[in-house]
Amino acid sequence: MISFEKLVARNVVVFISRELDLAGLKMTVNKFLGIAIVGGLIVLTVLSYSLFFLKFNVGIAALGGIGGAVLFEVVLYMLLEFNIEKRKTFVESILPDYLQIVAANVRSGISLDKAMVLAARPEFKYFSDDVKLVTKTLYAGSTLQSALFALAEKYRSLQLKHTVRMLVEAIQYGGGMTDLLNQVAKDIRNQQM
């Protein structure tokens, strides 16, 4: 199997890996690069030969093929960005409801990490799966703060990062977690309106 990762710079591989994680795609960087590189070459070849056989001169056919390949790469990247934005929008839309459920669980005497998992409902889709991963990382020995920061890094959402930062500060310095969660949920709803 061809290792497409070796064909590009290391920082490009890291960037693509991060984008794939933000998009929630369970695809390796090598597979994505394979689609991008092989797909681009196929578009370049097919379009160039098609234009050449349609009696365009070689230069125009080559430029058309290159333009088609560049357009293919741009569309591929736009689809990736669209998926990232869709996930972000979804998480920001369900975040107030999720925080209020967590607050109700904390108010009933459940610890924050367990309250978060109990609030992870099926209607929250992939966000529920990511919250459940927080619990697994806690059982693996990670701290709650680092697990929460890891959760926030899975989305390109400033609201989620702000919420996690406030939760971590409340854990560190103490404070009314229930009131904080309810207030953050209320603030997010007001911003959305």
The rounded distance, in Å, linking the Cα atoms of 164 and 112 is: 12
Using CA atoms, how far residue 54 sits from 44, 74, 81, 113, in Å, is 15, 26, 35, 64
Q: Is the predicted pLDDT of residue 135 greater than 90, yes or no?
A: no
Confidence class for position 139, pLDDT limits 50, 70, 90: confident
Is residue 155 within 8 A of residue 147, CB to CB? The reply is no
Q: Is the predicted pLDDT of residue 174 greater than 80, yes or no?
A: no
- For the stretch 73-129, pLDDT in tens is 999 999 999 999 999 999 999 999 999 999 999 999 888 889 999 999 999 999 999
Any idea of the CA torsion for 105, 174, 95, 106, to the nearest 10 degrees? 0
Query: What is the predicted pLDDT for the residue at 1?
Result: 66
- For the stretch 32-77, pLDDT in tens is 999 999 999 999 999 999 998 998 888 999 999 999 999 999 999 9
The rounded distance, in Å, linking the Cα atoms of 158 and 173 is: 22
Query: What is the predicted pLDDT for the residue at 176?
Result: 80
Nearest Cα to 118, choosing from 130, 107, 132?
A: 132
Q: Is the predicted pLDDT of residue 175 greater than 80, yes or no?
A: no
CA dihedral sign, ordered 162, 167, 172, 177: positive
Query: What is the predicted pLDDT for the residue at 8?
Result: 87
Tell me, what DSSP letter sits at residue 95?
A: H
| Helix intervals (H) in the chain | 10-23, 29-53, 58-107, 112-118, 125-139, 144-152, 158-173, 177-192
Is residue 148 within 8 A of residue 134, CB to CB? The reply is yes
Q: Is the predicted pLDDT of residue 178 greater than 90, yes or no?
A: no
Q: What is the CA angle 167-17-117, rounded to 5? A: 35
Query: What is the predicted pLDDT for the residue at 5?
Result: 84
